[in-house]
Chain A
Amino acid sequence: MSVKDKVIEIIAEQAVLEPGDVSLDATLEDLGIDSLGLVESIFAIEEEFDISIPFNANEPSESDFDITSVQSIIAGIDKLVAEQKS
């Protein structure tokens, strides 16, 4: 499974949706994921890919990890996987 599919699967599980219902341009808010759900998703992604995601709930916009949409989250994880697995 690709990084993209796996991330969508994790987000879908958090949002209690089918992966097919998670569109790339959706925001977490669109999907009904609140701040606790976000922190839980990040944990699940870290565990899945064995990476560390720099994210502080107090300053989401300051973190070097863009959570504005599903697409941006996937892009961020692709980058972190490439960096941390190289």
Chain B
Amino acid sequence: MHRVVITGAGTVNALGHDVPATLDAMREGRCGICALDFQDVERLSIQIGGQVRGFEAEGRYNRQQMSLYDRFTQFTLAAAKEAIEQSGIVFSGETSAKSGVVLGTAGGGVSTWDANYRSVYEEGKNRVHPFVVPKLMNNAAASHVSMEHNLKGPSFTVSTACASSNHAMAQAFQMVRSGMAPAMITGGSESMLCFGGVKAWEGLRVMSKDACRPFSANRNGMVQGEGAGIFVFEEYEHARARGAEILCEVIGFAMSSDASDIVMPSKNGAARAMAGALADAKVNAADVGYINAHGTGTAANDKTECAAVADVFGIHADKLMISSTKSMHGHLIGGTGAVELLACIMALRDGVIAPTIGYEEPDPECALDVVPNDARDAKVDVVLSNAFAFGGMNAVLALRAI
């Protein structure tokens, strides 16, 4: 068993186009959710989201690349570049041959599907661009990262709805821990903020029209976001040998399946994933100082998640901090755990706990320290990052300061 550390992080999301900007926003409790801006938005009943603004593909990517890069790939490549540059790792020789890319996404190239359906159904066109398939496929982002950075080892895409990126990072972690790969690029991305992408969610009637207020008694649903979070997971000695800066250590993970309902969360499934991550990491519940919650802002998730935390942590549940940064960047669906991992790294490295903003009224069913509205300085040694998906598929990661 090898130790696994994170040596690079990158992101694009509604709070910022890189990690420093995102962490500044989390520290300040800034909200990146605002009025959506895209074609036919006026036909939606949900018109807010954590949309990435000012991210122009033009100038960033050339014409040939643009014809192959859906927005979820564009976000991924920008975040991967940031992460790999920070890490300083160079993929050549055996490092290249053995290292790969495991990413999560729920929808892949949703806006490419949307635009091309519009063109053939609504506009009646009979021809689509030849690259529609390679552009929209769920593994497009992982493939382009492997090509761009010369990663020739195991690469694939994981899709478990809202837990996709946590499942992906758990896989990458396992590959490095087992010695199969010296380093893995991992995380996830999502870009569903287009007419069809939001319309589909609207149908489920779990979306908020005004704000994402996790754990607050007056919460009224989730708000979608978009973007990417990408990390370099690297074997500890490999990182030390090249003098890399280490952001934190990944110490364990667990996955569980509720095997009960396609949309309603289960306390038991969530609790088993958290308890499993603690056991895998060989830490005690009392060692955990912070949990980055799944915290979607729906009635069902937040009370179930809090009950699961109470079950797993017992009296320590009242001492630890738990916050949901979805209140700021929205729910990035398949990319959400990756962006939220940044809040975990900030907690471990900088001693700053990102707040749950939009918190207005205590809910007796969510009676934990949810770090309401303002970031808090606190020294924590071990943190968890939760992701619980539709379909009852859960993945929790455990990290430690180094």
Contact = CB atoms under 8 A, between A and B. Distances in A.
A76 B263 CA distance: 27
Interface stretch (B3-11, B19-27, B135-143, B199-207): B199-207
Nearest to A55: B205
A58 B296 CA distance: 11
Interface string A42-74: 110000000010011111001000000000000
Nearest to B299: A58
B203 A57 contact: no
Interface in B271-317: 298-300
Nearest to B205: A57
Nearest to A39: B205
Given A35-B264, A36-B263, A59 B205 contact: no
Interface string B186-206: 000000000000000001111
B205 A62 contact: no
Contact of A59 (B45, B263, B299): B299
* Residue among B203, B220, B264, B300 facing the most chain A CB atoms (10 A cut-off): B220
Contact of A57 (B209, B262, B299): B299
Contacts of B207: 56
Interface string B209-232: 100000000011100000000000
Nearest to B262: A36
A58 B208 contact: yes
B263 A58 contact: no
By secondary structure, the B interface counts as loop
Contacts of B263: 35-36
Nearest to A43: B203
Contacts of A42: 205
Contacts of B206: 56-58
B204 A58 contact: no
A62 B206 CA distance: 13
Interface residues of A, number: 12
A62 B264 CA distance: 20
Contact of A58 (B45, B203, B219, B262): B219
Contacts of B45: 52
A58 B221 contact: yes
A52 B300 CA distance: 24
A39 B263 CA distance: 12
Contacts of B262: 36
Contact of A62 (B204, B220, B300): B220
Contacts of A58: 206, 208, 219-221, 298-300
A53 B234 CA distance: 52
Contacts of B204: 39, 57
A2 B106 CA distance: 43
Interface in B217-270: 219-221, 262-264
A56 B218 CA distance: 12
Contacts of B205: 39, 42, 55-57
A82 to B, nearest CB: 21
Interface in A3-49: 35-36, 39, 42-43
Contacts of B220: 56, 58-59, 62
Nearest to B263: A36
A39 B264 CA distance: 13
A62 B203 CA distance: 18
A83 to B, nearest CB: 17
Interface of B: 45, 203-209, 219-221, 262-264, 298-300
Q: Which 6 A-B pairs give the minimum distances between C-beta atoms?
A: A58-B299, A58-B221, A57-B205, A58-B220, A59-B220, A57-B206
22 contacts: A35-B264, A36-B262, A36-B263, A36-B264, A39-B203, A39-B204, A39-B205, A42-B205, A43-B203, A52-B45, A56-B207, A56-B208, A56-B221, A57-B204, A57-B299, A58-B219, A58-B220, A58-B299, A58-B300, A59-B220, A59-B299, A62-B220
Given A36-B262, A56-B209, 20 more contacts: A39-B205, A42-B205, A43-B203, A52-B45, A56-B206, A56-B207, A56-B208, A56-B220, A57-B206, A57-B221, A57-B298, A57-B299, A58-B208, A58-B219, A58-B221, A58-B298, A58-B299, A58-B300, A59-B299, A62-B220
